[in-house]
Chains A and B, each alone.
Chain A
Protein backbone atom coordinates (compact mmCIF):
# COMPACT_ATOMS: atom_id res chain seq x y z
CA UNK A 1 0.00 0.00 0.00
CA UNK A 2 1.53 3.28 -1.19
CA UNK A 3 1.14 6.46 0.88
CA UNK A 4 2.90 9.83 0.77
CA UNK A 5 3.85 12.63 3.14
CA UNK A 6 4.76 16.11 2.01
CA UNK A 7 6.31 18.83 4.18
CA UNK A 8 6.45 22.29 2.62
CA UNK A 9 8.69 24.51 4.70
CA UNK A 10 9.87 28.06 4.20
CA UNK A 11 13.19 27.07 2.67
CA UNK A 12 12.74 23.50 1.43
CA UNK A 13 9.97 21.11 0.45
CA UNK A 14 10.25 17.43 1.33
CA UNK A 15 8.39 14.29 0.27
CA UNK A 16 8.49 10.72 1.55
CA UNK A 17 6.79 7.75 -0.09
CA UNK A 18 6.07 4.63 1.94
CA UNK A 19 5.05 1.16 0.89
CA UNK A 20 3.35 -0.05 4.05
CA UNK A 21 5.98 0.45 6.72
CA UNK A 22 8.92 0.86 4.40
CA UNK A 23 10.47 4.01 2.95
CA UNK A 24 10.73 3.57 -0.80
CA UNK A 25 11.64 7.05 -1.97
CA UNK A 26 12.36 10.55 -0.65
CA UNK A 27 13.06 13.96 -2.17
CA UNK A 28 14.14 17.40 -0.97
CA UNK A 29 14.00 20.54 -3.09
CA UNK A 30 14.45 24.25 -2.40
CA UNK A 31 11.02 25.77 -1.93
CA UNK A 32 9.90 28.44 -4.37
CA UNK A 33 7.58 31.32 -3.56
CA UNK A 34 4.46 29.23 -4.28
CA UNK A 35 3.93 26.35 -1.81
CA UNK A 36 1.58 24.46 -4.19
CA UNK A 37 4.22 24.37 -6.92
CA UNK A 38 6.98 23.32 -4.52
CA UNK A 39 4.76 20.51 -3.26
CA UNK A 40 3.96 19.26 -6.77
CA UNK A 41 7.60 19.33 -7.76
CA UNK A 42 8.94 17.50 -4.75
CA UNK A 43 6.22 14.82 -4.88
CA UNK A 44 6.86 14.16 -8.57
CA UNK A 45 10.57 13.88 -7.89
CA UNK A 46 10.00 11.29 -5.17
CA UNK A 47 7.51 9.38 -7.37
CA UNK A 48 9.99 9.30 -10.21
CA UNK A 49 12.60 7.80 -7.91
CA UNK A 50 10.10 5.18 -6.75
CA UNK A 51 9.01 4.47 -10.34
CA UNK A 52 5.40 5.26 -9.43
CA UNK A 53 2.62 7.56 -10.59
CA UNK A 54 0.32 9.83 -8.56
CA UNK A 55 -2.55 7.41 -9.10
CA UNK A 56 -0.61 4.79 -7.10
CA UNK A 57 -0.87 6.88 -3.91
CA UNK A 58 -3.72 5.71 -1.68
CA UNK A 59 -3.51 8.55 0.84
CA UNK A 60 -1.33 11.64 1.20
CA UNK A 61 -0.82 13.93 4.21
CA UNK A 62 0.61 17.43 4.03
CA UNK A 63 2.38 19.43 6.73
CA UNK A 64 4.64 22.44 7.17
CA UNK A 65 4.14 26.12 6.75
CA UNK A 66 2.61 25.72 3.26
CA UNK A 67 0.36 22.76 4.13
CA UNK A 68 -2.93 24.51 3.39
CA UNK A 69 -1.84 25.15 -0.16
CA UNK A 70 -0.89 21.62 -1.23
CA UNK A 71 -3.30 20.43 -3.92
CA UNK A 72 -2.85 16.66 -3.83
CA UNK A 73 -3.17 15.83 -0.12
CA UNK A 74 -6.14 14.14 1.51
CA UNK A 75 -5.48 15.73 4.87
CA UNK A 76 -3.11 18.14 6.55
CA UNK A 77 -1.54 17.60 9.97
CA UNK A 78 0.37 19.84 12.37
CA UNK A 79 4.14 19.83 12.19
CA UNK A 80 4.27 18.88 15.86
CA UNK A 81 2.31 15.64 15.22
CA UNK A 82 4.38 14.79 12.17
CA UNK A 83 7.75 15.37 13.83
CA UNK A 84 6.78 13.34 16.87
CA UNK A 85 5.46 10.50 14.69
CA UNK A 86 8.51 10.42 12.44
CA UNK A 87 11.09 10.50 15.22
CA UNK A 88 9.33 7.83 17.29
CA UNK A 89 9.07 5.52 14.28
CA UNK A 90 12.81 5.93 13.61
CA UNK A 91 13.85 5.52 17.24
CA UNK A 92 11.28 4.35 19.81
CA UNK A 93 13.68 5.38 22.60
CA UNK A 94 13.14 9.05 21.70
CA UNK A 95 11.56 11.18 24.44
CA UNK A 96 12.37 14.60 23.08
CA UNK A 97 12.48 15.94 19.53
CA UNK A 98 14.16 19.26 18.90
CA UNK A 99 13.40 20.58 15.46
CA UNK A 100 14.94 23.72 14.02
CA UNK A 101 13.22 24.79 10.84
CA UNK A 102 13.79 27.75 8.58
CA UNK A 103 11.24 29.92 10.39
CA UNK A 104 10.73 28.31 13.76
CA UNK A 105 12.09 26.00 16.42
CA UNK A 106 10.17 23.36 18.34
CA UNK A 107 10.76 21.08 21.26
CA UNK A 108 8.39 18.13 21.59
CA UNK A 109 8.21 15.62 24.44
CA UNK A 110 6.83 12.19 23.68
CA UNK A 111 6.04 9.25 25.92
CA UNK A 112 7.07 5.62 25.43
CA UNK A 113 4.01 5.03 23.23
CA UNK A 114 4.89 7.92 20.94
CA UNK A 115 2.14 10.22 22.26
CA UNK A 116 2.92 13.91 22.58
CA UNK A 117 2.99 14.94 26.24
CA UNK A 118 4.21 18.54 25.91
CA UNK A 119 5.58 20.86 23.30
CA UNK A 120 6.75 24.41 22.84
CA UNK A 121 7.67 26.37 19.79
CA UNK A 122 9.09 29.73 18.86
CA UNK A 123 8.00 31.40 15.67
CA UNK A 124 7.74 34.92 17.11
CA UNK A 125 11.42 35.77 17.13
CA UNK A 126 13.83 34.86 14.33
CA UNK A 127 16.64 34.19 16.78
CA UNK A 128 16.96 30.46 17.39
CA UNK A 129 15.49 29.55 14.00
CA UNK A 130 17.17 28.54 10.76
CA UNK A 131 16.73 32.11 9.56
CA UNK A 132 19.38 33.18 12.06
CA UNK A 133 22.04 31.06 10.38
CA UNK A 134 20.79 31.98 6.91
CA UNK A 135 21.21 35.71 7.60
CA UNK A 136 24.61 35.18 9.19
CA UNK A 137 25.84 33.05 6.27
CA UNK A 138 24.75 35.86 3.99
CA UNK A 139 26.52 38.51 6.08
CA UNK A 140 29.69 36.42 6.04
CA UNK A 141 29.51 35.48 2.39
CA UNK A 142 29.61 31.72 3.06
CA UNK A 143 27.24 28.95 1.98
CA UNK A 144 24.75 27.88 4.62
CA UNK A 145 25.62 24.25 3.83
CA UNK A 146 29.34 24.83 4.44
CA UNK A 147 28.98 26.33 7.91
CA UNK A 148 29.18 23.01 9.76
CA UNK A 149 32.45 22.03 8.08
CA UNK A 150 33.96 25.48 8.49
CA UNK A 151 33.27 25.53 12.22
CA UNK A 152 35.34 22.35 12.66
CA UNK A 153 38.42 24.40 11.84
CA UNK A 154 37.77 26.81 14.69
CA UNK A 155 40.64 27.38 17.12
CA UNK A 156 39.50 30.44 19.07
CA UNK A 157 36.34 30.56 21.15
CA UNK A 158 34.17 33.56 20.34
CA UNK A 159 30.91 34.18 22.11
CA UNK A 160 28.23 36.20 20.36
CA UNK A 161 26.70 38.52 22.93
CA UNK A 162 23.54 39.47 21.03
CA UNK A 163 20.56 37.14 20.70
CA UNK A 164 18.60 39.34 18.34
CA UNK A 165 19.34 38.49 14.71
CA UNK A 166 19.54 42.17 13.76
CA UNK A 167 22.01 43.03 16.52
CA UNK A 168 24.00 39.81 16.08
CA UNK A 169 24.42 40.61 12.40
CA UNK A 170 26.06 43.93 13.31
CA UNK A 171 28.21 42.11 15.85
CA UNK A 172 29.36 39.65 13.18
CA UNK A 173 30.27 42.49 10.83
CA UNK A 174 32.41 44.11 13.52
CA UNK A 175 34.04 40.76 14.33
CA UNK A 176 34.96 40.45 10.66
CA UNK A 177 36.36 43.99 10.75
CA UNK A 178 38.38 43.02 13.82
CA UNK A 179 39.91 40.31 11.61
CA UNK A 180 38.47 37.44 13.59
CA UNK A 181 38.63 34.20 11.61
CA UNK A 182 35.39 33.17 9.84
CA UNK A 183 35.56 29.65 11.31
CA UNK A 184 35.71 31.07 14.84
CA UNK A 185 32.80 33.44 14.22
CA UNK A 186 30.73 30.60 12.72
CA UNK A 187 31.48 28.39 15.68
CA UNK A 188 30.32 31.21 17.96
CA UNK A 189 27.11 31.54 15.94
CA UNK A 190 26.43 27.81 16.26
CA UNK A 191 26.66 28.10 20.03
CA UNK A 192 24.43 31.17 19.99
CA UNK A 193 21.59 29.43 18.13
CA UNK A 194 22.07 26.20 20.11
CA UNK A 195 21.86 28.01 23.44
CA UNK A 196 18.71 29.78 22.39
CA UNK A 197 17.06 26.53 21.35
CA UNK A 198 18.38 24.75 24.45
CA UNK A 199 16.62 27.26 26.69
CA UNK A 200 13.39 26.68 24.75
CA UNK A 201 13.73 22.92 25.27
CA UNK A 202 14.66 23.28 28.94
CA UNK A 203 11.49 25.27 29.57
CA UNK A 204 9.43 22.09 29.14
CA UNK A 205 11.95 19.79 30.85
CA UNK A 206 14.50 17.81 28.88
CA UNK A 207 14.29 14.01 28.76
CA UNK A 208 16.50 11.47 27.02
CA UNK A 209 16.85 10.22 24.34
CA UNK A 210 17.01 13.55 22.59
CA UNK A 211 17.09 13.77 18.80
CA UNK A 212 17.49 16.76 16.58
CA UNK A 213 15.52 17.08 13.34
CA UNK A 214 15.08 19.67 10.61
CA UNK A 215 17.56 21.07 8.12
CA UNK A 216 19.73 22.65 10.80
CA UNK A 217 20.35 19.17 12.28
CA UNK A 218 22.60 18.50 9.28
CA UNK A 219 24.95 21.15 10.56
CA UNK A 220 27.36 19.21 12.77
CA UNK A 221 28.45 22.38 14.52
CA UNK A 222 24.96 23.20 15.79
CA UNK A 223 24.43 19.55 16.62
CA UNK A 224 27.46 19.45 18.92
CA UNK A 225 26.74 22.89 20.35
CA UNK A 226 23.21 21.79 21.25
CA UNK A 227 24.55 18.82 23.23
CA UNK A 228 26.79 21.25 25.07
CA UNK A 229 23.96 23.73 25.62
CA UNK A 230 21.67 21.04 27.05
CA UNK A 231 24.44 19.32 28.96
CA UNK A 232 23.10 16.04 27.57
CA UNK A 233 23.94 14.08 24.43
CA UNK A 234 21.81 14.77 21.39
CA UNK A 235 21.48 11.76 19.12
CA UNK A 236 21.36 11.66 15.36
CA UNK A 237 18.11 10.38 13.93
CA UNK A 238 18.45 6.83 12.65
CA UNK A 239 17.01 5.55 9.38
CA UNK A 240 16.41 8.90 7.71
CA UNK A 241 17.86 12.32 6.88
CA UNK A 242 16.75 14.58 9.79
CA UNK A 243 15.40 17.10 7.31
CA UNK A 244 12.87 14.51 6.07
CA UNK A 245 11.46 13.71 9.49
CA UNK A 246 8.37 15.91 9.12
CA UNK A 247 7.49 14.41 5.73
CA UNK A 248 8.11 10.92 7.10
CA UNK A 249 5.74 11.60 9.99
CA UNK A 250 3.13 12.86 7.52
CA UNK A 251 3.48 9.66 5.49
CA UNK A 252 3.15 7.54 8.64
CA UNK A 253 -0.03 9.42 9.57
CA UNK A 254 -1.29 8.78 6.03
CA UNK A 255 -0.71 5.09 6.58
CA UNK A 256 -3.00 5.20 9.65
CA UNK A 257 -5.82 6.47 7.44
CA UNK A 258 -5.86 3.52 5.07
Chain B
Protein backbone atom coordinates (compact mmCIF):
# COMPACT_ATOMS: atom_id res chain seq x y z
CA UNK B 1 0.00 0.00 0.00
CA UNK B 2 1.26 3.43 -0.84
CA UNK B 3 -0.48 6.47 0.52
CA UNK B 4 0.90 9.71 -0.89
CA UNK B 5 -0.05 13.37 -1.25
CA UNK B 6 0.50 16.38 -3.46
CA UNK B 7 0.00 19.99 -2.55
CA UNK B 8 -0.25 22.93 -4.98
CA UNK B 9 -0.12 26.37 -3.40
CA UNK B 10 -1.30 28.87 -5.98
CA UNK B 11 -1.69 32.62 -5.74
CA UNK B 12 -5.47 32.50 -5.55
CA UNK B 13 -6.29 28.94 -4.52
CA UNK B 14 -4.43 26.09 -2.85
CA UNK B 15 -5.11 22.47 -3.64
CA UNK B 16 -4.21 19.12 -2.04
CA UNK B 17 -4.75 15.56 -3.23
CA UNK B 18 -4.38 12.35 -1.19
CA UNK B 19 -3.84 9.17 -3.22
CA UNK B 20 -3.65 5.51 -2.42
CA UNK B 21 -2.74 2.88 -5.02
CA UNK B 22 -3.39 5.27 -7.90
CA UNK B 23 -6.83 6.29 -6.61
CA UNK B 24 -7.84 9.68 -5.23
CA UNK B 25 -8.83 9.27 -1.57
CA UNK B 26 -9.52 12.91 -0.87
CA UNK B 27 -8.89 16.35 -2.33
CA UNK B 28 -9.44 20.01 -1.56
CA UNK B 29 -9.50 23.45 -3.13
CA UNK B 30 -9.32 26.39 -0.74
CA UNK B 31 -8.88 30.13 -1.21
CA UNK B 32 -5.22 30.97 -0.59
CA UNK B 33 -4.39 33.00 2.49
CA UNK B 34 -1.72 35.68 2.65
CA UNK B 35 0.73 33.17 4.13
CA UNK B 36 1.52 30.26 1.76
CA UNK B 37 2.44 28.00 4.68
CA UNK B 38 -1.00 28.45 6.22
CA UNK B 39 -2.65 27.90 2.83
CA UNK B 40 -0.78 24.61 2.43
CA UNK B 41 -1.68 23.45 5.95
CA UNK B 42 -5.32 24.30 5.47
CA UNK B 43 -5.60 22.65 2.02
CA UNK B 44 -3.83 19.54 3.31
CA UNK B 45 -5.98 19.33 6.44
CA UNK B 46 -9.19 19.57 4.40
CA UNK B 47 -8.02 16.85 1.98
CA UNK B 48 -6.93 14.59 4.85
CA UNK B 49 -10.31 14.96 6.52
CA UNK B 50 -12.08 14.02 3.30
CA UNK B 51 -9.79 11.03 2.88
CA UNK B 52 -10.32 10.07 6.51
CA UNK B 53 -6.66 9.81 7.39
CA UNK B 54 -3.90 11.73 9.16
CA UNK B 55 -0.71 13.40 7.96
CA UNK B 56 1.37 10.67 9.70
CA UNK B 57 0.00 8.07 7.32
CA UNK B 58 1.27 9.94 4.23
CA UNK B 59 4.45 8.23 3.02
CA UNK B 60 5.59 10.88 0.59
CA UNK B 61 4.41 14.34 -0.35
CA UNK B 62 5.44 16.64 -3.19
CA UNK B 63 4.77 20.39 -3.18
CA UNK B 64 4.28 22.64 -6.18
CA UNK B 65 2.86 26.02 -7.16
CA UNK B 66 4.05 29.51 -6.49
CA UNK B 67 4.19 28.99 -2.72
CA UNK B 68 5.87 25.57 -2.83
CA UNK B 69 9.03 26.64 -1.02
CA UNK B 70 7.03 27.59 2.03
CA UNK B 71 5.23 24.28 2.58
CA UNK B 72 6.40 22.67 5.83
CA UNK B 73 5.23 19.07 5.49
CA UNK B 74 6.58 18.00 2.08
CA UNK B 75 9.50 15.77 1.11
CA UNK B 76 10.39 17.72 -1.99
CA UNK B 77 9.19 20.35 -4.45
CA UNK B 78 8.58 20.00 -8.20
CA UNK B 79 7.89 22.58 -10.90
CA UNK B 80 4.30 23.35 -11.79
CA UNK B 81 4.93 22.36 -15.38
CA UNK B 82 6.11 18.86 -14.43
CA UNK B 83 3.18 18.39 -12.05
CA UNK B 84 0.59 19.64 -14.53
CA UNK B 85 2.01 17.34 -17.19
CA UNK B 86 1.71 14.29 -14.93
CA UNK B 87 -1.68 15.28 -13.59
CA UNK B 88 -3.18 15.88 -17.03
CA UNK B 89 -1.79 12.57 -18.31
CA UNK B 90 -3.63 10.74 -15.49
CA UNK B 91 -6.84 12.68 -16.09
CA UNK B 92 -6.79 12.29 -19.89
CA UNK B 93 -4.33 9.51 -20.85
CA UNK B 94 -4.39 10.47 -24.55
CA UNK B 95 -3.45 14.11 -23.83
CA UNK B 96 -0.42 15.52 -25.65
CA UNK B 97 -1.16 19.21 -25.25
CA UNK B 98 -2.34 20.74 -22.00
CA UNK B 99 -3.68 24.23 -21.64
CA UNK B 100 -3.75 25.22 -18.00
CA UNK B 101 -5.29 28.52 -17.03
CA UNK B 102 -4.78 29.46 -13.42
CA UNK B 103 -5.84 32.48 -11.44
CA UNK B 104 -2.78 34.50 -12.38
CA UNK B 105 -1.10 32.65 -15.19
CA UNK B 106 -1.60 30.56 -18.28
CA UNK B 107 0.51 27.65 -19.47
CA UNK B 108 0.61 25.57 -22.61
CA UNK B 109 2.47 22.28 -22.16
CA UNK B 110 3.24 19.57 -24.68
CA UNK B 111 3.95 16.12 -23.26
CA UNK B 112 4.97 12.78 -24.73
CA UNK B 113 3.04 9.54 -24.23
CA UNK B 114 4.65 9.03 -20.81
CA UNK B 115 3.66 12.45 -19.54
CA UNK B 116 7.19 13.85 -19.85
CA UNK B 117 7.26 17.53 -20.78
CA UNK B 118 8.57 18.24 -24.29
CA UNK B 119 7.85 21.92 -24.64
CA UNK B 120 6.06 24.57 -22.64
CA UNK B 121 5.33 28.26 -22.44
CA UNK B 122 3.99 30.34 -19.56
CA UNK B 123 2.44 33.77 -19.35
CA UNK B 124 2.49 35.20 -15.87
CA UNK B 125 3.48 38.72 -16.88
CA UNK B 126 0.19 39.97 -18.27
CA UNK B 127 -3.21 39.47 -16.62
CA UNK B 128 -4.88 39.09 -20.00
CA UNK B 129 -5.42 35.41 -20.78
CA UNK B 130 -5.35 34.41 -17.12
CA UNK B 131 -8.16 33.75 -14.66
CA UNK B 132 -7.65 37.23 -13.36
CA UNK B 133 -8.98 38.70 -16.62
CA UNK B 134 -12.28 36.85 -16.21
CA UNK B 135 -12.45 37.74 -12.54
CA UNK B 136 -12.07 41.46 -13.22
CA UNK B 137 -14.63 41.37 -16.04
CA UNK B 138 -17.20 39.35 -14.08
CA UNK B 139 -16.93 41.91 -11.31
CA UNK B 140 -17.63 44.80 -13.69
CA UNK B 141 -20.61 42.92 -15.13
CA UNK B 142 -21.70 42.09 -11.58
CA UNK B 143 -22.14 38.39 -12.31
CA UNK B 144 -20.48 35.25 -10.92
CA UNK B 145 -17.66 33.46 -12.74
CA UNK B 146 -19.98 30.47 -13.32
CA UNK B 147 -22.61 32.70 -14.91
CA UNK B 148 -19.98 34.28 -17.15
CA UNK B 149 -19.11 30.83 -18.50
CA UNK B 150 -22.74 30.27 -19.53
CA UNK B 151 -23.01 33.49 -21.56
CA UNK B 152 -21.41 32.15 -24.75
CA UNK B 153 -24.17 29.65 -25.53
CA UNK B 154 -26.85 32.25 -24.85
CA UNK B 155 -26.02 34.59 -27.72
CA UNK B 156 -25.07 34.58 -31.37
CA UNK B 157 -23.73 38.12 -31.34
CA UNK B 158 -20.78 38.40 -28.96
CA UNK B 159 -19.01 41.74 -28.80
CA UNK B 160 -15.50 41.94 -30.25
CA UNK B 161 -13.15 43.70 -27.89
CA UNK B 162 -10.63 46.04 -29.49
CA UNK B 163 -7.97 45.50 -26.87
CA UNK B 164 -6.72 42.45 -24.99
CA UNK B 165 -5.38 44.51 -22.10
CA UNK B 166 -7.45 43.89 -18.96
CA UNK B 167 -7.43 47.59 -18.11
CA UNK B 168 -8.65 48.76 -21.52
CA UNK B 169 -11.19 45.94 -21.84
CA UNK B 170 -12.57 46.88 -18.45
CA UNK B 171 -13.10 50.45 -19.64
CA UNK B 172 -14.70 49.13 -22.86
CA UNK B 173 -17.17 47.01 -20.90
CA UNK B 174 -18.38 50.04 -19.00
CA UNK B 175 -18.96 51.81 -22.32
CA UNK B 176 -20.86 48.79 -23.69
CA UNK B 177 -23.01 48.56 -20.57
CA UNK B 178 -23.83 52.26 -20.82
CA UNK B 179 -24.71 51.92 -24.50
CA UNK B 180 -27.25 49.23 -23.64
CA UNK B 181 -25.59 46.03 -24.89
CA UNK B 182 -26.91 42.85 -23.25
CA UNK B 183 -24.96 41.11 -20.51
CA UNK B 184 -24.92 37.99 -22.72
CA UNK B 185 -23.26 39.78 -25.66
CA UNK B 186 -20.68 41.37 -23.38
CA UNK B 187 -20.07 38.18 -21.40
CA UNK B 188 -19.67 36.07 -24.54
CA UNK B 189 -17.30 38.73 -25.89
CA UNK B 190 -15.20 38.45 -22.74
CA UNK B 191 -14.97 34.66 -23.09
CA UNK B 192 -13.97 35.08 -26.74
CA UNK B 193 -11.30 37.68 -25.93
CA UNK B 194 -9.92 35.32 -23.31
CA UNK B 195 -9.90 32.37 -25.72
CA UNK B 196 -8.09 34.40 -28.40
CA UNK B 197 -5.36 35.44 -26.00
CA UNK B 198 -4.87 31.87 -24.76
CA UNK B 199 -4.82 30.55 -28.34
CA UNK B 200 -1.93 32.90 -29.15
CA UNK B 201 0.07 31.31 -26.36
CA UNK B 202 -1.02 27.73 -27.11
CA UNK B 203 -0.11 28.01 -30.80
CA UNK B 204 3.51 28.76 -29.92
CA UNK B 205 4.03 25.21 -28.57
CA UNK B 206 2.56 23.66 -31.75
CA UNK B 207 -0.60 21.92 -30.70
CA UNK B 208 -0.80 18.13 -30.95
CA UNK B 209 -3.88 16.02 -30.33
CA UNK B 210 -5.36 15.24 -27.91
CA UNK B 211 -5.75 18.60 -26.24
CA UNK B 212 -7.04 18.93 -22.72
CA UNK B 213 -7.61 21.86 -20.44
CA UNK B 214 -6.90 22.08 -16.73
CA UNK B 215 -6.99 24.80 -14.10
CA UNK B 216 -9.97 26.72 -12.77
CA UNK B 217 -10.83 28.33 -16.12
CA UNK B 218 -11.38 24.85 -17.66
CA UNK B 219 -14.72 25.00 -15.84
CA UNK B 220 -15.78 28.01 -17.94
CA UNK B 221 -17.83 26.44 -20.77
CA UNK B 222 -17.76 29.59 -22.87
CA UNK B 223 -13.98 29.90 -22.90
CA UNK B 224 -13.53 26.18 -23.69
CA UNK B 225 -16.01 26.17 -26.59
CA UNK B 226 -14.62 29.38 -28.09
CA UNK B 227 -11.08 28.12 -27.70
CA UNK B 228 -12.02 24.98 -29.65
CA UNK B 229 -13.26 27.18 -32.49
CA UNK B 230 -10.23 29.46 -32.47
CA UNK B 231 -7.72 26.61 -32.34
CA UNK B 232 -9.74 24.36 -34.65
CA UNK B 233 -9.34 21.35 -32.38
CA UNK B 234 -11.55 19.43 -30.02
CA UNK B 235 -10.69 19.86 -26.37
CA UNK B 236 -11.11 16.70 -24.30
CA UNK B 237 -13.12 17.40 -21.19
CA UNK B 238 -11.61 16.33 -17.90
CA UNK B 239 -14.13 14.11 -16.12
CA UNK B 240 -12.12 11.94 -13.72
CA UNK B 241 -11.63 14.80 -11.25
CA UNK B 242 -11.98 18.54 -10.91
CA UNK B 243 -9.64 20.08 -13.56
CA UNK B 244 -8.46 22.61 -11.02
CA UNK B 245 -6.60 19.96 -8.99
CA UNK B 246 -4.40 18.77 -11.89
CA UNK B 247 -1.24 20.30 -10.39
CA UNK B 248 -1.76 18.80 -6.92
CA UNK B 249 -2.73 15.52 -8.53
CA UNK B 250 0.46 15.49 -10.58
CA UNK B 251 2.44 16.21 -7.39
CA UNK B 252 0.76 13.23 -5.71
CA UNK B 253 1.54 11.04 -8.74
CA UNK B 254 5.20 12.04 -8.58
CA UNK B 255 5.12 11.12 -4.87
CA UNK B 256 3.66 7.75 -5.79
CA UNK B 257 6.41 7.03 -8.30
CA UNK B 258 9.02 7.89 -5.63
CA UNK B 259 7.52 5.28 -3.30
CA UNK B 260 7.26 2.70 -6.06
CA UNK B 261 10.90 3.31 -6.93
CA UNK B 262 11.93 2.51 -3.39
CA UNK B 263 12.06 5.93 -1.79
CA UNK B 264 10.24 6.44 1.50
CA UNK B 265 9.86 9.00 4.23
Residue ranges of A at the interface with B (Cβ–Cβ < 8 Å): 103, 124-126, 131, 135, 162-167, 174, 177
Contact = CB atoms under 8 A, between A and B. Distances in A.
Interface string B183-221: 000000000000000000000000000000000000000
Given A126-B165, A163-B125, A177 B34 contact: yes
B42 interface: no
Interface in B23-62: 34
A166 B125 contact: no
Nearest to A168: B127
B7 to A, nearest CB: 22
Given A164-B125, A166-B127, A166-B132, A124 B164 contact: yes
Contacts of B152: none
A26 to B, nearest CB: 28
A167 B136 CA distance: 12
Top 10 A-B residue pairs of the complex, sorted by shortest distance between their CB atoms: A126-B167, A166-B127, A166-B166, A164-B126, A165-B167, A125-B165, A164-B127, A126-B165, A167-B127, A166-B132
Interface of B: 34, 104, 125-127, 132-133, 136, 163-168
Contacts of B168: 103, 126
A119 B133 CA distance: 30
Given A164-B166, A165-B166, 11 more contacts: A103-B168, A124-B163, A124-B164, A126-B166, A126-B167, A163-B125, A163-B126, A166-B132, A166-B133, A166-B166, A177-B34
Contacts of B133: 166
Nearest to A125: B165
Contact of B165 (A124, A174, A177): A124
A131 B163 CA distance: 15
B129 to A, nearest CB: 11
A135 B163 contact: no
22 contacts: A103-B168, A124-B163, A124-B165, A125-B126, A125-B165, A126-B165, A126-B167, A131-B167, A162-B125, A163-B125, A164-B125, A164-B126, A165-B127, A165-B166, A165-B167, A166-B133, A166-B166, A166-B167, A167-B104, A167-B127, A167-B132, A177-B34
Most buried by B among A124, A135, A174: A124
Given A126-B168, A177-B34, A166 B163 contact: no
Contacts of A164: 125-127, 166
Contacts of B163: 124
Contacts of B164: 124
Given A124-B163, A131-B167, A166 B136 contact: yes
Most buried by B among A131, A135, A165, A177: A165
Contacts of B126: 125, 163-164
A165 B165 CA distance: 9
A165 B168 CA distance: 11
A162 B167 CA distance: 15
A164 B126 CA distance: 5
A174 B136 CA distance: 18
